[in-house]
Amino acid sequence: MAGKTQAKSKQEADHNEDEKQPVQQNGASSKADNELLEKLDELRSTLSGDLTDLETEAAVELVNEWQGVLQKVKEPEVKEIASHLKELAKLLKSNKATGHEISEVLIEIGEQTANYAGDAEKEVKTPVRQLGKQLTKVGNTVGKIEEHEQIEEIDGLIDTLDGDLTQVDSETSVGAIDTWYKVLHNSEDESIKEIANELKELKQVLKRSKPKATDIAEVLTRLGEQTQQAAHEAKRGFKGPVQRLGKLLSKTGKSLEE
């Protein structure tokens, strides 16, 4: 009799334990969802703010934090997002990445995040979709900021070429060439690469102890012609400034030949 009572008590205890497990699992799952929602809100809040005030170190820390969160998720789509976040962190850390490169990765992450939202849990579906849109928007903004800066740099170069070049020292010239070489040499466009190579050659000529005007003129003339050609394929907003720059480079080259 005692044995039956003990067996019954054990069965009841096991049954109660089985009932507790789903509750505990649901509780853990709910806690994880809440933590994810909190992190999503934090990230969206950061992206909604003034990102120009965000230091590189803080940005890298934020990206690494999100990569750590997503690496724990098993879905392949999420792991792919985590992989792109790792790439983004690497770009930010390098301090050499262009705004265009960062922009492309952000847009890619944004699109992947928005796509993943379709399969996300009900509780996080909307914030994940909104996050994807925000990331894409930030990516586009970063690209536009860099484009604006590049147009300003082109305008500055035009002003220099249009001014008294005898007042421009070789060190300043070489610095300007370095700036533009960095912008252009990674381009996939062959015509842009040619311009970058010409800039490299111009730098070598200018760094000679006594550069000949004819040598400088030759490179500048070629640069002018190539730049004017590139203007035909340039984006809207760039066409005019690039065309003017090309003409001035050619004009400057010809003036040195005289």
Residues 69-85: tens digit of each pLDDT: 777 777 888 888 888 88
**Tokens, residue 167:** 């007042």
| Residue 49 CB neighbour total at 10 angstroms | 10
CA distance 138 to 145: 10
Mean of per-residue pLDDT scores for the chain: 77
* Interacting residues of 39 by C-beta distance below 8 A, sequence separation 6+: 65, 66, 69
Reported as a single tens digit per residue, the pLDDT across 105-119 is 899 989 988 888 887
Reported as a single tens digit per residue, the pLDDT across 177-203 is 887 877 777 666 777 888 888 888 888
**Tokens, residue 101:** 């490169």
CA distance 78 to 121: 13
Reported as a single tens digit per residue, the pLDDT across 197-232 is 888 888 888 888 788 888 888 988 988 898 888 888
Q: How far is CA 153 from CA 120, 160, 176, 183, 237, in A?
A: 44, 11, 9, 11, 13
Q: CA torsion 196→200→203→205, rounded to 10°?
A: -120
Tell me which H or E stretch contains 166: none
Give the CA radius of gyration of the chain: 29
**pLDDT-based confidence at residue 27 (cuts at 50, 70, 90):** very low
Checking if the pLDDT of 11 tops 60, the result is no
What pLDDT was estimated at residue 152?
83
Q: Which residue has the higher pLDDT, 56 or 218?
A: 218
All structural domains of the chain with their residue ranges: 15-144, 163-257
